[in-house]
A and B are shown apart, each in its own frame.
Chain A
Amino acid sequence: MKRNLKFWTRYTWESMAVDLSFMAGLAVITLFSAEGLDLGMFASIMPYYLCIAATFGMLIINTGSQSLYVPLLLSMGETRRNVLLGFHYYRTLIISVTLALCALIWLLIPGEVSSAGLRSIPTILCILVASSSLGSILGTLFTKWKWLATVIIIILCGGAGGAVGFMGVAAADSLVITETLEMAAHLETLPWWLALTAVAALALDVAFQWMLLRRQEVKL
């Protein structure tokens, strides 16, 4: 188990690095577009960008990690049980670190945005759990039915591209901060259906993953 944790911890940092660079990309777009930017305001919306990056990151990276690393680790003599545990350890870790980073930034830069942000943490947690479960379900699908998952991933990538594009356009009108704040306002209260979705997606994901993993054949 120690070796397993070592692998997944390292994998978490590698994924985190991808998320951070995605966040940096969004930050740059904002920097170039917004006029008369308030630095404090700018910093306190960064956590939102990080969460967007983490959401898409988990949707896309999970697929790769499952179709590549799961069989690879099985081929190196890891048990199916440990692979499952390791994978969920990675998810827990990356979500916790993302949220911790957000909370830290909001605590360090007090203000209206930050206090709203802190109140939004439960909602963000649910979004992250739901999207990572969705990514993981996609990954499981991908291992078994490649074509189906490929179609979904293309649609998602299109969506992600569209979102970034929209933000770019919005940024051009220097509306990005306003947009973000508007969006953030919706996050302060956690709707019951979102909490339910997160829990259901997680349960579905674990069950589905284990069902296939139990009998998975290693093909590299």
Chain B
Amino acid sequence: MSLHCENIVKTYSGKDVLDKVTLDIQPGKIYGLIGRNGAGKTTLLSILAAQNPASSGSVTLDGQRVWENRKSLEKICFSRELNANAESGLAAMKAKEYLRIAATYYEGWDKPLEERLVKLFDLNVKKKLGKLSKGMLSMVTIIVALCSKAAYTFLDEPVAGLDVVAREQFYKLLLEEYSSSGRTFIISTHIIEEAADVLEDVIILHEGRILIETDTQAFVDSAVHVSGKAEEVDAAVSGLEVHHPETIGRSKGVTVFLKPGQKVDESRDVSVQPVSLQRAFVALCGEEEGKS
């Protein structure tokens, strides 16, 4: 029982945006989908929700194909990031109208929750989407995601443009909804640090491929920062998976990803420090220029 995608390939004008992505989304978890700009996050979510067709590969929910299957689609909500610029037809649509259409299409729409959130966010629903700020548009997408009550709910950059108080509010609401319903959420975000503690599992997408799909805590615990005199550091981490080396004079710092059973040689004169999810992500995906 899960949302599963197998060997998803997506090609746009000859370029592979997604390259053989296989993922198993277990029910009742909050996943974080992180990756740099252009890594393919939105494309992946669109394909999981059957909003975009894959070039090849399949998406199934509980063994049933998702594409053109209303029964499966009803259990999935991908609340897209809204870009109501002048070109988009959405610019002229009132927020209220957008929410009304969502309420029509999502089977389990939670009207009282919608009213509560509109009030909490102080959202003027009579305004046209084109007249709303980036943060307010994010609020609209958050409302759709939470009120849809879909078993599998995806949010694309839900906190973009929200101030720090609203972001905190969002994470608390998400946890509240998650605790009471046990729904599955996939949240793609750039603001990793704040989200880190909320995400049970983390999926790292890099250049169209899945690099990591694991328990967030286990991933963070497996990464350490080792620093000291260059030779000492090199000796301490020899044979380990080393990323993102930085040197200044004789001093060197590296991020090491430890496999089970591996250890940094602490008999060397080095400092070994824990790293945050964000630092671990940068070490993994932010290779320095010139390195392939």
Q: Which residues of A line the B interface, CB within 8 A? A: 1, 3-4, 6-7, 64, 67-68, 72-82, 214-215, 217-218, 220
Q: Are B105's CB and A217's CB within 8 A? A: no
User: Sorted from nearest, which 4 A-B pairs have the closest CB atoms?
Assistant: A68-B89, A218-B51, A76-B105, A77-B73
CA A79 to CA B73, docked complex, whole Å = 8
CA A70 to CA B283, docked complex, whole Å = 42
Q: Are A218's CB and B46's CB within 8 A? A: yes
Given A78-B70, A80-B68, A81-B68; 10 other pairs, CB 8 A cutoff: A4-B105, A76-B77, A76-B101, A76-B106, A77-B73, A77-B77, A78-B105, A217-B52, A220-B80, A220-B90
The interface residues of chain B, by DSSP majority, are classed as loop
Which residues from chain B contact A76 at a C-beta distance below 8 Å?
77, 101-102, 105-106
Closest Cβ–Cβ distance, residue A68 to chain B (whole Å): 3
B104 interfacial contact with A, CB 8 Å: yes
Which residues from chain B contact A64 at a C-beta distance below 8 Å?
89
Can you list 11 contacts pairing A with B, beta carbon distance less than 8 Å?
A3-B107, A72-B90, A72-B101, A76-B105, A77-B49, A77-B78, A77-B105, A77-B106, A82-B70, A217-B52, A220-B82
CA A121 to CA B194, docked complex, whole Å = 65
Q: Are A79's CB and B80's CB within 8 A? A: no
Q: Are B106's CB and A7's CB within 8 A? A: no
CA A81 to CA B69, docked complex, whole Å = 10
Q: Are A73's CB and B105's CB within 8 A? A: yes
Q: Are B89's CB and A7's CB within 8 A? A: no
Query: How many of chain B's residues touch chain A, expressed as a range?
Result: 20 to 34
Q: Are B89's CB and A75's CB within 8 A? A: no
Closest Cβ–Cβ distance, residue A5 to chain B (whole Å): 10
B277 interfacial contact with A, CB 8 Å: no
CA A64 to CA B46, docked complex, whole Å = 23
Which residues from chain B contact A67 at a C-beta distance below 8 Å?
89
Which residue from chain A places its CB closest to the CB of B109 in the assembled complex? A3
Task: Render B93-112 as a binary contact track against A, CB cut-off 8 A, 1 for contact.
Answer: 10000000110111100000
Which residues from chain B contact A4 at a C-beta distance below 8 Å?
105
Which residues from chain A contact B105 at a C-beta distance below 8 Å?
3-4, 7, 73, 76-78
B83 interfacial contact with A, CB 8 Å: yes
CA A214 to CA B68, docked complex, whole Å = 9
B200 interfacial contact with A, CB 8 Å: no
Which residue from chain A places its CB closest to the CB of B51 in the assembled complex? A218
CA A47 to CA B93, docked complex, whole Å = 31
B76 interfacial contact with A, CB 8 Å: yes
Closest Cβ–Cβ distance, residue A82 to chain B (whole Å): 7
Which residue from chain B places its CB closest to the CB of A214 in the assembled complex? B53
Which residue from chain A places its CB closest to the CB of B87 in the assembled complex? A146
B26 interfacial contact with A, CB 8 Å: no
B74 interfacial contact with A, CB 8 Å: yes
Closest Cβ–Cβ distance, residue B59 to chain A (whole Å): 13
B88 interfacial contact with A, CB 8 Å: yes
Which residues from chain B contact A1 at a C-beta distance below 8 Å?
70
Closest Cβ–Cβ distance, residue A172 to chain B (whole Å): 34
CA A6 to CA B69, docked complex, whole Å = 20
CA A64 to CA B88, docked complex, whole Å = 10
Which residue from chain B places its CB closest to the CB of A81 in the assembled complex? B68
Closest Cβ–Cβ distance, residue A67 to chain B (whole Å): 6
Which residues from chain B contact A6 at a C-beta distance below 8 Å?
104
Closest Cβ–Cβ distance, residue B114 to chain A (whole Å): 14
CA A67 to CA B104, docked complex, whole Å = 19
Known contacts A82-B70, A220-B90; A75/B52 CB under 8 A: no
Task: Render B266-283 as a binary contact track against A, CB cut-off 8 A, 1 for contact.
Answer: 000000000000000000
Which residues from chain A contact B88 at a C-beta distance below 8 Å?
220
Which residues from chain A contact B46 at a C-beta distance below 8 Å?
217-218
Q: Given A73, A77, A214, A217, which contacts B74 in the complex, CB threshold below 8 Å?
A: A77
Which residue from chain A places its CB closest to the CB of B107 in the assembled complex? A3
Q: Which of B69, B78, B93, B101 neighbours the largest number of chain A CB atoms within 10 Å of its CB? A: B101
CA A1 to CA B105, docked complex, whole Å = 10
Which residues from chain A contact B80 at a C-beta distance below 8 Å?
75, 218, 220
Which residues from chain B contact A7 at a C-beta distance below 8 Å?
101, 104-105
